[in-house]
């Protein structure tokens, strides 16, 4: 169990109201850029549908596509490794480095390696890791975890980054100009790229037909690392495989417009063979993915292409910050993926949502995010990970919601939920809730429930 | 049982019944003319922080490069024979040697109007780092090689064999510090596209 749950952590985050407003507005700004970009594409909804169906198909035939990908990648000269969990993944990476007597590695953004806690593992085994994505480098220097999967240091003010860079990179004290700070990071990381013999990158898409994989970045850090190193290790979850190269047109059109509102990332790099005289390795990682695949209600969370649109639009994420989730992947999709890995530890996350459905509306691969959050709540109560007071009300509500007409519309469901079992919607009346316009609830029963529930939780 | 066998077996027993692949025909219809695609490409390139020029020959490119960049005393490398007058070809084998390149001039296969990207693969040049390490990057694309969108782009490379290929759209950039856009993150600080 977490010492503090999401609601309590949110309260801490909400202690600084100005900062919360800033965080909220910054993310909403990105959401609006996404809207502009998508409204420029008349066939946007067709793209989403196609993306969703290709992913559904890929997951339904994953066994075949994984083997096809392996065969073709091997024929291309890529070495394939399989890891059932994070620990095995980390051991494979360390083994490769040790084989070449490498003690320093440069890494580009990979949420999977965060999930496996690779950095800690390598540091404990004498390997120094430098994260090269600017946002990740910043949180690494601050000894923090990323708070957002696309914008790792979105929670940080430029003044704080200025202080960090003053300490670690020798920038002038008090300077907080993004241009100057980025330039300092560029100089320092350039030296890193030029001196590292091993580079690890993530994978955005892997193509069964050709055995190649695609990495998308704006900074060019994945490529700088990979092309200057002797060994390139690419870590990927097994759900990243899609059938054909031409399917990339669907996903690359969806990905960055959803993420930042750009028409495409600066670099979409297709790695099919190792460069002359170099090694290219791919580690295919399960780490709970087959477990999620076996859950009919939750398997389509594996369609996620990690664009973070659901984060940017989420009223709870925007007003509680990524760290409140205390999980590798925060936000609405993290709240579905994380309980699969550890239901007890992350029992709070499916409750960190207003069930407004905005996440499902923006998701480029049409994951029914808010429905799944609601379903997780039921599973968590049933499995006994919610406190007893919640369970009684949950049963009551289940009855109400058993009527399909009531449940049909998320808004309606949320309202019903609010009336009969408010905790399902807002858990412990955390601070973000106070800033949200929620339907009115009868005051007396609300207060009664609140007092009782609060006591049970304290 | 190896991890490979365990994973493949778990996938086999967990994956749902086969779902159909969608029909993608509708994405391949385009209504724009060649001129419209070209105009759209120029507009997009500017939007993503790069420059685009329509030119009639290599002489014009050389003139423009000389006026836009301070190259005297700086290292200029190119993979375009016609530019030998201002640039050297890259022939070394250790790519670390490229660290001091100021300007890189590269050919590209084709460009994409909707997102301002150019496609480059190792049929044109072998060293992958050429795209990333220079301070400034210049692309040359044939005027009649601009496709409207990514669907048409992948149609051109659907069956192509390459070891490495990339869509490159604009200069390297980041907005990781408070969402302020800064050009020149780790790769080139600027990108200029000549449409020949
Ligand atoms: S769940 Fe959908 S919206 Fe959220 S990160 Fe994944 S693909 Fe993007």
Pick the residue from chain B with its C-alpha nearest to A265. B169
Confidence (pLDDT) at A3: 74
Q: Is the CB of A309 under 6 A from ligand 1?
A: yes
Confidence (pLDDT) at A457: 45
Q: Is the CB of A363 under 6 A from ligand 1?
A: yes
Residues A348 and A421 in one domain: no
pLDDT along chain A (458 residues), means of 10: 83 89 95 96 97 98 98 98 98 98 96 96 98 96 95 96 97 96 96 96 98 98 98 98 98 98 98 97 98 96 97 94 92 94 91 93 97 93 74 48 41 45 43 41 44 48
**Neighbour order of strands in the sheet with B118-121:** A241-242, A205-207, A212-217, A267-271, B164-168, B118-121, B110-112, B146-147
Q: Cβ separation of B7 and A62 shorter than 8 Å?
A: no
When scoring B49, B93, B168, B177 by the number of chain A Cβ atoms within 10 A, the one with the most, hence best to mutate, is B177
Shortest distance, CA B112 to any CA of chain A (angstroms)? 11
Q: Is the CB of A257 under 6 A from ligand 1?
A: no
Q: How many residues can be counted in chain A?
A: 458
Confidence (pLDDT) at A384: 87
Distance A367 CA to ligand 1 centre (A): 7
Classify residue A294: in a domain, yes or no: no
Residues A123 and A268 in one domain: yes
Q: Is the CB of A314 under 6 A from ligand 1?
A: no
ipTM, 2 dp: 0.98
What angle (nearest 5°) sits at the alpha carbon of residue A343, between those of residues A151 and A60? 75
Which of A161, A250, A268 faces B166 most closely, judged by CB atoms?
A268
When scoring B7, B109, B151, B157 by the number of chain A Cβ atoms within 10 A, the one with the most, hence best to mutate, is B7
**Which of A300, A305, A361, A362 for mutating ligand 1's site (highest number of atoms within 8 Å of CB)?**
A305
Q: Cβ separation of B126 and A84 shorter than 8 Å?
A: no
Average pLDDT, chain B: 96
Return the minimum-mean-pLDDT range out of A16-20, A81-85, B9-13, B104-108: A16-20
Summarize the confidence of residues B85-92 as an average pLDDT. 93
pLDDT of B29 > 50? The answer is: yes
More confident residue, B146 or A395: B146
Rounded-to-integer distance, Cα B48 and Cα B169, Å: 7
Q: Which residues pair with A18 in a beta bridge?
A: none
Which of B4, B21, B169 faces A264 most closely, judged by CB atoms?
B169
Residues A381 and A410 in one domain: no
Classify residue A416: in a domain, yes or no: yes
Atom of ligand 1 nearest to the CA of A333: 1
Q: B39 CB contacts (<8 Å, ≥6 apart)?
A: none
Q: Is the CB of A302 under 6 A from ligand 1?
A: no
Confidence (pLDDT) at A391: 53
Query: Which pLDDT band holds residue B76 (cuts at 50, 70, 90)?
Result: very high
Please answer whether residues B98 and B133 qualify as being in contact, where contact means their C-beta atoms are separated by less than 8 angstroms: yes
Classify residue A296: in a domain, yes or no: no
Question: What CATH code is carried by the domain that includes residue A134?
Answer: 3.40.50.10420
Residues A14 and A149 in one domain: no
Domain count, chain A: 3
Atom of ligand 1 nearest to the CA of A306: 5
Q: B37 CB contacts (<8 Å, ≥6 apart)?
A: B113, B146, B147, B148
If one counts every other C-beta atom within 10 angstroms of the C-beta of residue A85, the result is: 14
Taking CB atoms and an 8 Å cutoff, what residues of chain A touch B169?
263-267
Residues A113 and A230 in one domain: yes
Classify residue A426: in a domain, yes or no: yes
Residues A236 and A382 in one domain: no
Residues A126 and A201 in one domain: yes
Residues A57 and A8 in one domain: no
Classify residue A392: in a domain, yes or no: no
Helix axes A410-420, A388-401, angle to 10 degrees: 130
Confidence (pLDDT) at B57: 96
Domains assigned to chain B: 33-195 (3.40.50.10420)
Boundaries of domain holding A379? 1-40+305-386
Distance A308 CA to ligand 1 centre (A): 5
Confidence (pLDDT) at A304: 98
Classify residue A418: in a domain, yes or no: yes
When scoring A149, A182, A197, A271 by the number of chain B Cβ atoms within 10 A, the one with the most, hence best to mutate, is A182
Rounded-to-integer distance, Cα A248 and Cα A240, Å: 12
Residue B154 CA, distance from chain mean position: 14
Atom of ligand 1 nearest to the CA of A309: 3
**Neighbour order of strands in the sheet with B101-107:** B51-54, B190-195, B136-141, B101-107, B75-78
Residues A268 and A373 in one domain: no
**Which of A256, A364, A366, A371 for mutating ligand 1's site (highest number of atoms within 8 Å of CB)?**
A364
Q: Cβ separation of A178 and B177 shorter than 8 Å?
A: yes
Classify residue A292: in a domain, yes or no: no
Q: Cβ separation of B2 and A82 shorter than 8 Å?
A: yes
Confidence (pLDDT) at A2: 76
What angle (nearest 5°) sits at the alpha carbon of residue B3, between those of residues A130 and A197? 25
Residues A159 and A137 in one domain: yes
Confidence (pLDDT) at A424: 46
Atom of ligand 1 nearest to the CA of A259: 8
Taking CB atoms and an 8 Å cutoff, what residues of chain B touch A61?
15, 18
More confident residue, B127 or A418: B127
Distance A346 CA to ligand 1 centre (A): 19
More confident residue, B137 or A447: B137
CA dihedral A31, A34, A35, A37 (to 10 degrees): 160
Q: Cβ separation of B167 and A264 shorter than 8 Å?
A: yes
Residues A170 and A268 in one domain: yes
Q: How do residues B116-126 score in pLDDT, each as one tens digit?
A: 999 999 999 99
- Which of A253, A287, A321 terminates a domain? The answer is A287
What proportion of chain B, given as a percentage, has pLDDT over 70?
Answer: 100
Please answer whether residues A319 and A291 qualify as being in contact, where contact means their C-beta atoms are separated by less than 8 angstroms: no
Residues A328 and A452 in one domain: no
Taking CB atoms and an 8 Å cutoff, what residues of chain B touch A238?
7, 11
Atom of ligand 1 nearest to the CA of A301: 1
Q: Is the CB of A367 under 6 A from ligand 1?
A: yes
Classify residue A407: in a domain, yes or no: yes
């Amino acid at each position: 169990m977490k010492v503090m749950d999401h609601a309590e952590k949110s309260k801490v985050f909400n202690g600084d109201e100005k900062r919360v407003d800033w965080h909220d507005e910054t993310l909403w700004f990105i959401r609006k850029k996404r809207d502009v970009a998508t409204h420029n594409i008349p066939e946007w909804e067709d793209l989403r549908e196609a993306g969703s169906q290709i992913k559904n198909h890929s997951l339904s035939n994953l066994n075949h596509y994984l083997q096809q990908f392996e065969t073709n990648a091997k024929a291309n000269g890529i070495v394939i490794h399989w890891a059932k969990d994070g620990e095995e993944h980390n051991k494979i990476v360390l083994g490769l480095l040790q084989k070449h007597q490498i003690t320093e590695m440069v890494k580009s953004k990979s949420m999977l390696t965060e999930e496996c806690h690779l950095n800690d593992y390598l540091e404990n085994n004498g390997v120094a890791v430098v994260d090269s994505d600017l946002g990740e480098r910043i949180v690494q220097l601050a000894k923090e975890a990323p708070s957002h999967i696309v914008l790792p240091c979105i929670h940080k003010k430029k003044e704080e980054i200025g202080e960090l860079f003053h300490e670690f990179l020798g920038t002038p004290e008090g300077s907080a100009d993004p241009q100057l700070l980025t330039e300092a990071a560029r100089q320092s990381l350039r030296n890193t790229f030029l001196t590292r013999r091993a580079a690890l990158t993530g994978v955005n898409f892997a193509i069964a037909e050709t055995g190649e994989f695609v990495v998308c970045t704006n900074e060019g850090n994945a490529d700088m690392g990979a092309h200057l190193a002797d060994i390139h290790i690419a870590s990927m979850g097994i759900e990243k495989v899609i059938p054909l190269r031409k399917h990339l047109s669907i996903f690359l059109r969806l990905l960055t417009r959803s993420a930042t509102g750009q028409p495409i990332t600066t670099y979409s790099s297709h790695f099919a063979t190792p460069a002359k005289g170099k090694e290219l390795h791919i580690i295919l990682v399960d780490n709970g993915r087959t477990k999620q695949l076996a859950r009919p209600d939750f398997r389509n969370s594996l369609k996620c292409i990690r664009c973070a649109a659901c984060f940017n639009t989420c009223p709870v994420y925007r007003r509680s910050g990524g760290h409140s989730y205390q999980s590798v992947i925060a936000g609405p999709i993290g709240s579905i993926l994380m309980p699969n890995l550890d239901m007890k530890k992350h029992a709070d996350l499916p409750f960190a949502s207003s069930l407004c459905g905005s996440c499902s509306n923006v998701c480029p691969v049409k994951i029914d995010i808010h429905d799944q959050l609601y379903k997780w709540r039921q599973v968590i109560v049933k499995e006994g990970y919610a406190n007893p007071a919640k369970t009684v009300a949950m049963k009551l509500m289940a009855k109400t919601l058993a009527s399909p007409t009531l449940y049909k519309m998320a808004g309606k469901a949320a309202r019903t939920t609010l009336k009969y079992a408010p905790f399902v919607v807002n858990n412990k009346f955390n601070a973000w809730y106070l800033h949200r316009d929620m339907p009115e609830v009868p005051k007396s029963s609300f207060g009664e429930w609140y007092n009782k529930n609060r006591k049970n939780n304290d | 049982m190896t991890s490979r066998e365990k994973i493949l077996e778990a996938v086999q027993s967990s994956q749902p019944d086969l779902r159909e692949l969608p029909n993608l025909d509708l994405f391949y219809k385009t209504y724009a003319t060649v001129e419209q695609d070209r105009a759209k490409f120029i507009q997009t390139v500017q939007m993503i922080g790069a420059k685009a020029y329509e030119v009639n020959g290599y002489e014009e490119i050389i003139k423009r490069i000389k006026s836009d960049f301070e190259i005297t005393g700086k290292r200029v490398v190119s993979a375009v024979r016609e530019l030998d007058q201002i640039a050297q070809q890259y022939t070394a084998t250790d790519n670390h040697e490229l660290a001091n390149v100021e300007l890189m001039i590269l050919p590209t296969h084709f460009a994409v109007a909707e997102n301002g990207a150019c496609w480059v693969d190792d049929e044109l040049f072998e060293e992958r780092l050429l795209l990333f390490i220079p301070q400034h990057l210049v692309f040359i694309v044939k005027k009649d090689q601009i496709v409207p969108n990514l669907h048409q782009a992948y149609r051109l490379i659907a069956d192509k064999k390459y070891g490495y290929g990339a869509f490159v759209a604009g200069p390297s950039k980041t907005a990781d510090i408070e969402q302020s856009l800064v050009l020149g993150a780790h790769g080139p600080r600027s990108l200029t596209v000549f449409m020949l």
